[in-house]
Amino acid sequence: MSFFLLLCFLSVAFCHQQPLNTDLLPRALIIQLPGNLESDSLSEEVRLRCTGWRVAGEANNLSPWKTIPDECVEYVKEYVLGPSYEFDLQMVSNEAGRYAKSVDLNEDGMDAWIFDIDETLLSNLPYYAQHGYGSEIFDNIQFDKWVVEGMASAIEPSLKLYNEVLKLGFKIFFLTGRSEDKRDITINNLIKAGFQKWDRLILRGTEDHGKTAVEFKSEKRKEIMEEGFRIIGNSGDQWSDLIGSFISVKSFKLSNPMYYIS
Amino acid sequence: MSFFLLLCFLSVAFCHQQPLNTDLLPRALIIQLPGNLESDSLSEEVRLRCTGWRVAGEANNLSPWKTIPDECVEYVKEYVLGPSYEFDLQMVSNEAGRYAKSVDLNEDGMDAWIFDIDETLLSNLPYYAQHGYGSEIFDNIQFDKWVVEGMASAIEPSLKLYNEVLKLGFKIFFLTGRSEDKRDITINNLIKAGFQKWDRLILRGTEDHGKTAVEFKSEKRKEIMEEGFRIIGNSGDQWSDLIGSFISVKSFKLSNPMYYIS
Residue A122: name the closest of A30, A43, A186, A216 by CA.
A186
CA distance B25 to chain A (A): 7
What contacts A149, CB < 8 A, 6 or more positions away?
Answer: none
CATH number of B2-253: 3.40.50.150, 2.40.50.140, 3.40.50.1000, 3.20.20.70?
3.40.50.1000
Residue A255: name the closest of A16, A54, A42 by CA.
A54
Q: Is the pLDDT of residue B29 over 90?
A: no
Question: Around Cβ B197, how many Cβ atoms within 10 Å?
Answer: 10
Cα distance between residue A49 and residue B229, in whole Å: 36
> Is B71 within 8 Å of A95 when comparing Cβ atoms?
no
Q: Is the pLDDT of residue A224 over 90?
A: yes
> Is A25 within 8 Å of B63 when comparing Cβ atoms?
no
What whole-number percentage of chain A has pLDDT above 90? Answer: 84
Q: Which of B50, B65, B87 shows the shortest C-beta gap to A52?
A: B87
What are the pLDDT digits (tens) for B113-162? Answer: 999 999 999 999 999 999 999 999 999 999 999 999 999 999 999 999 99
More confident residue, A11 or B130: B130
What pLDDT, on a 0 to 100 scale, did the predictor assign at position B13? 44
Measured CA to CA in angstroms, residue B32 lies from A146, A225, B11, B249 at distances of 47, 54, 14, 38
What's the pLDDT band for A59 if we cut at 50, 70, 90? very high
pLDDT (average), residues A188-217: 98
What whole-number percentage of chain B has pLDDT above 90? Answer: 84
> Is A88 within 8 Å of B252 when comparing Cβ atoms?
no
What DSSP string runs through A44-67? HHHHHHHHHHHHHHHTT-SPP-SS
> Is A255 within 8 Å of B58 when comparing Cβ atoms?
no
What pLDDT, on a 0 to 100 scale, did the predictor assign at position B23? 46
Q: Is the pLDDT of residue A203 over 50?
A: yes
What pLDDT, on a 0 to 100 scale, did the predictor assign at position B39? 52
What's the pLDDT band for A170 if we cut at 50, 70, 90? very high
Q: Closest-CA residue in chain B for A54?
A: B55
Amino acid at A62: L
Cα distance between residue B113 and residue B101, in whole Å: 12
What's the pLDDT band for A39 if we cut at 50, 70, 90? low
Q: Which of B52, B59, B91 shows the shortest C-beta gap to A52?
A: B91
What's the pLDDT band for B40 if we cut at 50, 70, 90? low
Cα distance between residue B77 and residue B91, in whole Å: 20
Please tell me if residue A71 touches chain B, with a CB cutoff of 8 Å. Answer: yes
What are the pLDDT digits (tens) for B63-81? Answer: 999 999 999 999 999 999 9
> Is B24 within 8 Å of A253 when comparing Cβ atoms?
no
Task: Report the mean per-residue pLDDT for chain A.
Answer: 89
DSSP H helix total and E strand total for chain A: 9, 7
Q: Where are the domains of chain B?
A: 2-253
pLDDT (average), residues B218-236: 98
Cα distance between residue B103 and residue B89, in whole Å: 21
Q: Is the pLDDT of residue A7 over 80?
A: no
Task: Report the mean per-residue pLDDT for chain B.
Answer: 89
Chain B from 88 to 107: CB within 8 A of any A CB: 88, 91-92, 95-96, 98-99
What pLDDT, on a 0 to 100 scale, did the predictor assign at position A32? 42
Amino acid at B19: P
Question: Around Cβ B18, how many Cβ atoms within 10 Å?
Answer: 14
Sign of CA dihedral A210, A214, A217, A219: negative
Q: Which of B27, B52, B95 shows the shortest C-beta gap to A91?
A: B52
Instruction: Name beta bridge partners: A230.
Output: A111
Amino acid at B201: L
Q: Which of A63, A72, A91 shows the shortest C-beta gap to B99?
A: A63
What are the pLDDT digits (tens) for B86-116? Answer: 999 999 999 999 999 999 999 999 999 999 9
> Is A84 within 8 Å of B52 when comparing Cβ atoms?
yes
What pLDDT, on a 0 to 100 scale, did the predictor assign at position B14? 43
B230-236 and B250-253 beta bridge pairing = parallel
Q: Which of A45, A98, A253 shows the shortest C-beta gap to B28?
A: A45
> Is A25 within 8 Å of B50 when comparing Cβ atoms?
yes
Cα distance between residue A244 and residue A233, in whole Å: 15
Please tell me if residue A69 touches chain B, with a CB cutoff of 8 Å. Answer: yes
What pLDDT, on a 0 to 100 scale, did the predictor assign at position B65? 98
pLDDT (average), residues B35-47: 71
DSSP A20: P
Q: Is the pLDDT of residue B252 over 70?
A: yes
More confident residue, B27 or A65: A65
Are residues B113 and B171 in contact, defined by beta-carbon separation less than 8 angstroms? Answer: yes
What whole-number percentage of chain A has pLDDT above 70? Answer: 84
Are residues A152 and A188 in contact, defined by beta-carbon separation less than 8 angstroms? Answer: no
What are the pLDDT digits (tens) for A98-118? Answer: 999 999 999 999 999 999 999
Burial B100-117 (b: 16+ CB within 10 A, else e): beebeeeeeebbbbbbbb
Residue B242: name the closest of B254, B230, B257 by CA.
B254
> Is A52 within 8 Å of B98 when comparing Cβ atoms?
no
Residue B118: name the closest of B57, B185, B62 by CA.
B185
Are residues B232 and B113 in contact, defined by beta-carbon separation less than 8 angstroms? Answer: yes
